[in-house]
Amino acid sequence: MAHYLARKVVIYLLTFYVAVTIDWAIPRFMPGDPVEGLLSRMQAQPGSQEELTGYYTKAFGFDVPIWKQYLNFWAALFHGDLGPSVANFPTPVWELIRGALPYTLALLVPAVLLSFWAGNKVGALAARRKVLDNTALPVSYVLTATPQMWLGIVLAWVFATVLGVLPVSGAYDLSLQPTWSWEFVRSFLEHWILPFSALFLVAFGGWAIGMRNMIIYELEADYSNYLASLGAPTKLVRRYAYRNALLPQITGLALALGAVVAGAIVVEIVFSYPGLGSLTLSAIQNRDYFLIQGIFLFLIVGVLLANFIIDIAYVFIDPRTRIGMQGGA
């Protein structure tokens, strides 16, 4: 177990190091100087230009050689400092991310878990059941092939513009401020449904198809046939098949997380939902390098962490891993 964990930790640390280094490098190799961009946005008078350039170059830490900037970046990172936002100087990037994070998590976590749960259930039910298979399968194919952004636009158009039953954008009503009141919670949920659905439905389709195919495969396995020939009820056979089919699906969940996060970003933009996605858009629009860097760093850590948790969970879910480890260790 310890050996397994240690190996995993090393791999994750290495991935983290490489990903963070790339994340640090990308804004620096992008064309355009953030200080110049800021001065242009300020419409700075040429008389003050030298002072302003000097001040902001120093404030962003660009006044030292590039290798030192890289070291400073890591040093700051371990102090939890992601630097100041360029466009919203001097707000710390971390403060901006912290403000947006709850909104993204409120969309992402339920969408990932519920779609995984519901998709697998429906997929398992549909396998080898003619009527369900003929309806659920094509629907799932359509859903999983739909870009989240497009589905979001369609949902917004149907439910907000045409039917007028749900709000078209934002995370809560414009006449409210975030407070602990039923009115706010209700408004929050109303605004949450559409972006959540856009994420949920697309992911749901993918899981349903995956599970349906896996179940068919498992039902044809020797153990299923053997169990059935012993006279076990179909329900029991299917239950065993489900448990086995779930394993590759969990691996799939780890792989899919990155795509889901990307999906959440575009869905938030469609609905002007004030989470990390909208923050990313405004960071890009404002050429806010440090903010872009901070958000990506955050996503990297989030996805790695989720993968790590799934890796650990796998040990408990799949007895073969445990046994293999005991034998190996």
Residues of span 171-230 touching other proteins by CB under 8 A: 171-181, 183-185, 188-189
Instruction: State yes or no: residue 114 binds other proteins (CB under 8 A).
Output: yes
Find where tokens 């989240």 sit. 148
Instruction: State yes or no: residue 249 binds other proteins (CB under 8 A).
Output: no
Phi, psi (rounded to 5 degrees) for 65: -60, 155
- Geometric angle at alpha carbon 166, from 112 and 123, rounded to 5°: 35
| Beta carbon nearer to other proteins, 7 or 243 | 243
Contact 314, 321 (CB under 8 A): yes
* Cβ at position 102, least distance to other proteins in Å: 4
Residues 255-274: x where in contact with other proteins by CB under 8 A, - otherwise, as a string: --------------xxxx-x
Phi, psi (rounded to 5 degrees) for 50: -65, -45
* Interatomic CA distance for residues 178 and 268, integer angstroms: 18
Residues 228-247: x where in contact with other proteins by CB under 8 A, - otherwise, as a string: -----------x--------
Three-state DSSP at 165 gives: coil
In the region spanning residues 42 to 101, those forming contacts with other proteins, defined by CB under 8 A, are 42-49, 51-53, 55, 59, 87-91, 95-96, 98-101
Cβ-proximal residues to 22 (8 Å cutoff; 6+ apart), any chain? none
Cβ-proximal residues to 307 (8 Å cutoff; 6+ apart), any chain? 12, 254, 257
| Beta carbon nearer to other proteins, 59 or 310 | 59
| Beta carbon nearer to other proteins, 3 or 186 | 186
Instruction: State yes or no: residue 37 binds other proteins (CB under 8 A).
Output: yes
| Beta carbon nearer to other proteins, 3 or 183 | 183
